Amino acid sequence: MLLYTEVTRYLDFKVTEGSFVYKGGKIYKVPSTEAEALASSLMGLFEKRRFRKFLVYVANFDEKDARTFEGIDPKKTPMREVYKKFDLGQDVIDFTGHALALYRTDDYLDQPCCETINRIKLYSESLARYGKSPYLYPLYGLGELPQGFARLSAIYGGTYMLNKPIEEIIVQNGKVIGVKSEGEIARCKQLICDPSYVKDRVEKVGQVIRVICILSHPIKNTNDANSCQIIIPQNQVNRKSDIYVCMISSAHNVAAQGKYIAIVSTTVETKEPEKEIRPALELLEPIEQKFVSISDLLVPKDLGTESQIFISRTYDATTHFETTCDDIKDIYKRMTGSEFDFEEMKRKKNDIYGED
């Protein structure tokens, strides 16, 4: 998305140094290549061989070539059966589904395997491209993303009014006609906003707990990585949802030299959310200072087609932005009535600039 919109002109990214997964109270590097699978201490000897076979299968898999299916029907065979075929144990299934395919729950096990295989493929290919992990993080932090889009919008004639209080969203005959701020009205035909502006048009579907921790040391057992992503699969801590840890430091220009920032997040499941993230906080000890926030997960009550007020969903607990991207595509579809066509954008670019 960032490449197609060319907002990448205003952003610099740097690779996140490691991708780790939690098992039995410890963290391990996520193995995603044959060599890593054989060297990983996450599995026993025979398990390694089976997992290596599975990775070779995934690497060779091609939706368009039935010879690569090995008796699996990608559109019908559930992922559970594929794991069974390669005789993979529960721990391996946990990290494959949650740390490689990045699923948030285990629902995918009973869905056709095609998407899961493609997700694992994407992970391995991204890793091959970037080396240390498949993740990139913007220099100077995530605030650079909206700033990049603000610049892009300005180039296309967009007007920005920043730090303006919103007094009222003006609706006439059930349709939005403008936004009132400090006595002035900015008129519009369509409005996009987050749930905090329209409390009466959204509903609560859950909560997320986030803890920002400031450390003076890299996280233990990460090989002193300056930045990393850790996923704690739900089954490893008897939960229904994963816990995410994203750690960054001066390497991404977001902290002073020698300081590390770790952000822990998960979906709240009990009356004591702070207890739920204890396994993650234990990995970070000693913690110099922590800031805990619990926020409601809000979603729009309707599609916005009548009022023309299009509301985004609250950010969930994930750290890899997949759900956020889905939400953006969904808002585009609700506003225009059609899917966003990335291929079309590619073609237009080629018309203007020629092929790469």
**What integer is the mean pLDDT of 127-140?**
91
pLDDT at 355 over 70: no
Domain boundaries along the sequence of the chain: 1-16+138-152, 28-130, 192-338
Which amino acid does the sequence have at 107? D
| CA 31/CA 51 separation, integer angstroms | 10
Contact 249, 137 (CB under 8 A): no
Pairing of strands 26-29, 168-172: unpaired
Which residues on neighbouring strands pair with residue 175, listed in sequence order?
172
Which amino acid does the sequence have at 129? R
pLDDT at 137 over 90: yes
DSSP label at 242?
A: -
Tens of pLDDT, residues 219-240: 999 999 999 999 999 999 999 9
pLDDT at 348 over 60: yes
Tell me whether the CATH fold assigned to 28-130 matches the one assigned to 192-338.
no
Contact 301, 202 (CB under 8 A): yes
**What integer is the mean pLDDT of 77-83?**
97
Structure tokens at 258: 């020698």
DSSP per-residue letters across 270-339:
SS-HHHHTHHHHHHHPSPSEEEEEEEEEEEESS-STTT-EEEPPPP-S-SS-HHHHHHHHHHHHHHHSS-
Looking at CATH, the fold of the domain delimited by 192-338 is given as: Guanine Nucleotide Dissociation Inhibitor; domain 2 (3.30.519)
**What integer is the mean pLDDT of 126-132?**
88
312-329 in b/e form (b: 16+ CB < 10 A) is bbbbbbbbeeeebeebee
CATH superfamily, domain at 28-130: Guanine Nucleotide Dissociation Inhibitor, domain 1 (1.10.405.10)
Tens of pLDDT, residues 156-204: 999 998 899 999 999 999 999 999 999 999 999 999 999 999 999 999 9
